[in-house]
Amino acid sequence: MYEILDDTAAQVILAIESGDSIRRVAQHLHTPYETVRQAVNRLEDAGYVSYDNGLTVVDERVHDAALKLVAASAGVSPPSIEETYVIPQFSDWPFAFTRIDAVYVWTQGGYQVGRDPDDYPLFLAVREQDVDAWETFFEWFDLPTALERQPRDEVDGPLQIVLEPRASLDIEHVEGYPVIPRAETIEYMREDYAQFQSALAMLDRMYEDLDLGVSYRET
């Protein structure tokens, strides 16, 4: 079993939603298609997943074992920033990237200004009733959580997860990332126009249906 269930295969199992294609799983994991395809072939040969009109994990115990493996791996080797963006998708609860992470997602990674890799919060909008579950989930990965951004000297390691509880979630998807709606993201950006002027101009260029009237030139 453990020869088949390496870190990549475990992440594939955790990313699968019943009926997914290989391409969609690769998009969720932000992993090359061929890497995911090879992992799916190994898992299918071992009987851990089936691929009939989409992927399905055949036994919930396999999912639980995969989660333990990935969490244990994170405990030995702390996840990178890129990996931390993927980890929430291994949970059982809906979420959406919000605040500056919504800007990052909607600009498809184009706006990443002023973020210190040694002091890096990720902002997640979650349902109010799921907050405790999210806190427990991130404990598995040794990632600290809070409802407000914590000062760097109060957090172990460079990463922290800032949870934003909401009564309900309105979720859109961009390149595999769940994210708050674009209109809400733009409203957030306008509240700090000086910081996000370049990102607003970027969005204006990226999406033909927008007419934000924002121009920006690097000085």
pLDDT digit string, tens, across residues 141-173: 999 999 999 998 888 889 999 999 999 999 999
Asked if residue 215 is part of any domain, the answer here is: no
pLDDT in tens, 186-213: 999 999 888 888 889 888 888 888 877 6
Write out pLDDT tens, residues 23-82.
Answer: 999 988 989 999 999 999 999 988 889 988 889 898 888 888 888 888 888 878 888 998
Question: Phi/psi of residue 55, each to 5°?
Answer: -80, 145
Cα 32 to Cα 191: distance, rounded to the nearest angstrom: 37
111 plus 187 within the same structural domain: yes
Backbone Cα Rg of the chain: 19
Contact 118, 98 (CB under 8 A): no
Are residues 103 and 147 both part of a single domain? Answer: yes
Q: How does DSSP classify residue 53?
A: S
Confidence of residue 1 (pLDDT cuts 50, 70, 90): very low
CATH number at residue 50: 1.10.10.10
Residue 91's domain is classified under what CATH number? Answer: 3.30.460
Amino acid 204 reads D
| pLDDT for position 211 | 73
- 21, 54, 76 — which closes off a domain? 76
Decide: helix, strand or coil at residue 216: coil
Cα separation of 165 and 135, whole Å? 12
The domain boundary, picked from 43, 76, 109, lies at 76
Whether 57 and 107 share a structural domain: no
Calculate the CA dihedral of residues 79, 81, 87, 89 and round it to 10 degrees. -170
pTM (global) more than 0.75: yes
pLDDT for the residue numbered 132: 97
